[in-house]
Structure 1
Amino acid sequence: MAVNAHLKTSESGRQFLAGFEGVVLKAYPDPATGGKPWTIGIGHTAAAGAPVVSKGMTISRDQAFEILARDLATFEAWVIKLIKVPLTQAQFDAMVSLCFNIGPGNFTGSSVVRLFNAGKRLDAAAAFTLWNKADGKVMSGLIRRRAAERTMFETGNYGIAIAANDDVPVTQGVVLARGSAHPEAVRALQADLISLNLLPAKPDPDGDFGPLTDTAVRQFQRTHALTIDGRAGPATRAAMAAALVKAKRPIAVAMYPLPGQALDVPFAA
């Protein structure tokens, strides 16, 4: 039996992961197709197994975490298979979070795995921080996630307050904000801000929610009687969608609750 076969992602680990991936309680379409694959919960699609996600489907927060626990089995199996020496619970949770975000193929070839198996625990922890790029560009959101995973791995500190499992409105989606770890969604948000003449058309959207994007979101909120906090949540995106429709311009992201799973993969070992 594999040395870590007894381990499963802890409740703290699932809450940590959901904090970065987002929790969406109403099925939302793929922005590229306007339909399939539908996603719900914490980045769950039918490709991951039951339940099959369809238009109009809603779930509770408890159900979102139950689905996540099942979806994580694949990534837990990869960590158990690849790591040949004993892991603490926090080390296991950090590795599952990394594998979930970058994919099993990248995780398999990562220096995190190689160094930990070689007994170099601190070097393996430092190697988490290499996975901070999307399209070759260092992303502030990925820096933040990797730093949190490294802290969990090294100290056992998850850096979270475990949220109550009370239901939240089914319209809840990922909120984009400064330092967001969702670069593909940020690029789409930036495209909408460009269409509204709130960001310059050049350079192209880079997916990094930095000070210019923050200022643009706040400017939009100020002129549309919204809470001025620089956070692009469902209310701000809905108002942005209405503004784009009125201006007869395409909508890149505003009509869609946003995926919890980042769509890109960092170029690092």
Structure 2
Amino acid sequence: MQTSDKGIEALALEEGDVLRAYRCPAGRWTIGMGLTAASGVIKPRPGMVITAQQSRDLTRKALAAKYEPRVALVMTGAKQHEFDAGVLFDWNTGAIQKASWVPLWARKAARSAIETKYRLWNKGGGEVLPGLVARRERELLILFYASYPVAKESRFRPSVSIARWALPVDFAEKLAAMLAFDKLGYKVGTDPGAIPAAEIRRFQSDHGLTADGRIGRATLSTLQRRIDAAAKTKPVALAAVGTAGASSGATVPTGTSEVTDWIAAQPWAMGAAAGVVGIWGLWLAWRYRDVIAAKVSARAPRLAAFLRSI
């Protein structure tokens, strides 16, 4: 059994269909509908660009090689829409073979019991994520009612000056993203429906993304990496800045929250960080070299391009 065309389109709406390679929040090069080297069908690399048709073909190859066989094995006798829901679930979680809702579905248990178990798959990093909560609800609509999500089209032609949200995200997620953009210096305003496209294009250009003004998977994944870099490097930065400043006699500004800020702004920062925080600091700098690239892109575009290429 294969995923239907409606199932593929639902997957594209959930994952986005990014035709230029980008780093996912975990730092893996990704392209298309979330395809990494682990997919076995492509090895995304810096600067790689594919067509929309290639993306669909690669997605179907990945589904046929891994996901569809797993779903078919545990959802014997599934109707097309049920099979599609199982594929969407497994693509996101990789857990169709151990999910407790599947045996309940196979035994034709009460719908409420299946829904309860299905909705448990709403966490990331141990926390309930609103995006996953909403995603599970959309999958349940497919599973029980064959109701597939469709892209919403406005009756009005969108202004080229206003950024568009290219993924199904709720108000809370939009607000969190806007606050993060603003903290990084991108003036996106306070209205999720009127974000200046120019500011999103500036963010995309700074980070080596396709500057189309659309807030999609690549843009949000890159934004998440900036957020993660700030959170994970803060303790290291405080130690590195304090010790390095004291040893060098330099006047060190207070409030620095990212070691990548110092690496980008101070030539001695990499060496100082290595001396103070050792291998851990260097590893963080390496892991978030794309963040460093974004910080130095205006002053040193060649260095930024090199950091993005490795």
TM-score (normalised: structure 1): 0.61
Give the aligned partner of residue 48 of structure 1.
39
Offset at 1:67? 0.5
Matched residue type, 1:96: V
- Using a 3 Å threshold, how does the CA distance of structure 1 residues 60 and 212 change in structure 2: closer, same or farther? closer
SS in 2 for 1:67: helix
- Using a 3 Å threshold, how does the CA distance of structure 1 residues 160 and 149 change in structure 2: closer, same or farther? same
Give the aligned partner of residue 58 of structure 2.
67
Which ranges in structure 1 are unaligned for 5 or more consecutive residues? 1-6, 164-173, 181-207, 256-269
Give 2:73's match in structure 1, choosing from 76, 81, 96: 81
Q: Deviations over 1:123-182 (max 9, x none)?
A: 32443211111122111100110000001111101021499xxxxxxxxxx9578549xx
Is residue 195 of structure 2 the alignment partner of residue 229 of structure 1? yes
Q: Deviations over 1:38-67 (max 9, x none)?
A: 322111223322334333321111110110
Is residue 178 of structure 2 the alignment partner of residue 214 of structure 1? yes
For residues 169-208 of structure 1, the aligned pairs below 5 Å read 178-179=169-170
Is residue 114 of structure 2 the alignment partner of residue 120 of structure 1? no
CA contact (8 A) 1:176 1:233 kept: no
CA contact (8 A) 1:178 1:211 kept: no
CA contact (8 A) 1:9 1:76 kept: yes
Identify the structure with bigger relative contact order (alpha carbons < 8 Å, sequence gap 6+).
1
How many residue pairs were aligned? 204
Stretch deviating more after TM superposition (121-130 or 17-26): 121-130
- Using a 3 Å threshold, how does the CA distance of structure 1 residues 231 and 18 change in structure 2: closer, same or farther? farther
TM-score (normalised: structure 2): 0.54
Give 1:238's match in structure 2, choosing from 204, 209, 212: 204
Which ranges in structure 2 are unaligned for 5 or more consecutive residues? 154-164, 209-225, 227-259, 266-287, 295-310
- Using a 3 Å threshold, how does the CA distance of structure 1 residues 9 and 232 change in structure 2: closer, same or farther? farther
| Rg comparison, structure with higher value | 2
Give the aligned partner of residue 143 of structure 1.
133
Over the residues paired in the alignment, what is the CA RMSD in angstroms? 4.0
Q: Deviations over 1:84-138 (max 9, x none)?
A: 3x211111101111011111xx321212211011111613244321111112211
Give the aligned partner of residue 273 of structure 2.
none
Provide the C-alpha distance between the structure 2 equivalents of 1:70 and 1:38, rounded to a whole number of angstroms. Answer: 18
Provide the C-alpha distance between the structure 2 equivalents of 1:19 and 1:45, rounded to a whole number of angstroms. Answer: 18
Provide the C-alpha distance between the structure 2 equivalents of 1:131 and 1:230, rounded to a whole number of angstroms. Answer: 35
